[in-house]
Amino acid sequence: MTSQATIVRSVAASRPAVDAVSWRLRWTRIKRNRWLYLMLLPVVAYFAVFAYGPMYGLIIAFKDYGIFTGIADSPWIGFTHFERFLNSIYFWRLIRNTLVLNLYGLMVGFPAPIILALLLNELVHARFKRVVQTVSYLPHFVSLVVIVGLVQTFLSPSTGPINLLIKGLGFDSINFLQEPGWFRHIYVWSGIWQEAGWGSIIYLAALSGIDPTLYESAEMDGAGRLARMWYISLPGIMPVAMVILLINLGNLLRVGFEKVFLLYNGSTLEAADVISTYVYRVGIQQQQYDFATAVGLFNSVICLILLVVFNWMANRAEQQSLW
């Protein structure tokens, strides 16, 4: 017992010295890498000012906020705004439209860059491959306003090439942008045209990391192009694809505001109105800042829960996960 007590006292006595040495080593590493930390400082400052700082304003979701009263002096009302949103006549329409747009876009848009990357990877002619890549990347760099303008021009009921072709075949023109049934198809497929080429970059990078000897061995065994794509290329990019899929699944209730806002109108509101556009209407147009904040916070919390759940499912299935 005496020897054990002596050991405990000696360890306790040496701990400050060990901590001091550890701190000196840590400070030495910081000084040695000070320029790297200095380069990191603008990024940290950006997120501190523009991401974490504004989170203070989330408390107005739980207050009867008045613009002249201020955040601190506005009275607390708890979850009243959340209950109002859940009981709103628009609640299920917003959830349905947001989910349908995201699921439709996920089912069609998720495999599109993968397929494009696999096809580009099989191209042998280098110049033709570069041309195809450049053409497929270009729409990503075009302003979203211009993209929507092009969509409206092509689908114009009077002068649009699509309707001119329809009328040339002897059918009546279709006012695509005024029909609720067409909105989701226009939104999703124009998004694929704009982003599939850009999204294929990460898969092409993953494909470049596959050992070339695997392809050579498969070719010697008599495997054709499709077999090599299915058994070598596709499994090689699956870890990257799983990470991107998890991020997309975590954003099932998050639809970009700008494109929906530019495309929708009063005729398509039943199919086009999503949570982000609803937040804009009640928050900016109707100046219900507290209620709009509550709706946005509800959306963000649900997205966080979905991300955690799907990541847990990926871990249980022993697949690639975010953490």
The answer on 312 and 215 residing in a single domain is: yes
Tell me how far apart the alpha carbons of residues 293 and 279 are, in angstroms, rounded to a whole number.
Answer: 8
Mean pLDDT for the stretch of residues 117-143: 89
Does position 101 have pLDDT exceeding 80, yes or no? yes
The answer on 57 and 189 residing in a single domain is: no
The answer on 52 and 145 residing in a single domain is: no
Q: What digits encode the pLDDT tens for the residues 13-24? A: 555 655 666 788
Does position 301 have pLDDT exceeding 50, yes or no? yes
The answer on 211 and 144 residing in a single domain is: yes
- 58's CB contacts (< 8 A; 6+ apart) are 293, 297
pLDDT, position 220: 85
pLDDT confidence band for 11 (50 / 70 / 90): very low
pLDDT, position 20: 67
- Which pTM does this prediction carry? 0.81
Q: Are 296 and 81 in contact (CB under 8 A)?
A: no
Half-sphere exposure of residue 164: CA atoms within 13 angstroms, side-chain side: 6
Does position 5 have pLDDT exceeding 60, yes or no? no
The answer on 162 and 46 residing in a single domain is: no
Does position 321 have pLDDT exceeding 80, yes or no? no
Mean pLDDT for the stretch of residues 277-306: 90
Say if 67 falls within a structural domain.
no
Coil, strand or helix: which one is 63? strand
Strands (E) across 157-266 are located at none
The answer on 231 and 118 residing in a single domain is: yes
Does position 8 have pLDDT exceeding 50, yes or no? no
Does position 251 have pLDDT exceeding 60, yes or no? yes
Say if 68 falls within a structural domain.
no
pLDDT, position 300: 87
pLDDT confidence band for 214 (50 / 70 / 90): confident
Tell me how far apart the alpha carbons of residues 11 and 24 are, in angstroms, rounded to a whole number.
Answer: 20
Tell me, what CATH number does 178's domain have? 1.10.3720.10
The answer on 24 and 163 residing in a single domain is: no
Mean pLDDT for the stretch of residues 132-157: 90
The answer on 121 and 12 residing in a single domain is: no
The answer on 160 and 130 residing in a single domain is: yes
Does position 207 have pLDDT exceeding 80, yes or no? yes
φ, ψ for residue 63 (rounded to 5)?
A: -130, 160
Say if 70 falls within a structural domain.
no
pLDDT confidence band for 193 (50 / 70 / 90): very high
pLDDT, position 104: 92
pLDDT, position 322: 66
Say if 73 falls within a structural domain.
no
The answer on 55 and 86 residing in a single domain is: no
Average pLDDT for the chain: 86
Domain with 24 in it: 2-62
Determine the residue type at 238.
M
- Give the CA distances from residue 16 to residues 5, 7, 34, in Å, rounded to whole numbers and listed in that order: 18, 15, 26
Mean pLDDT for the stretch of residues 57-63: 90
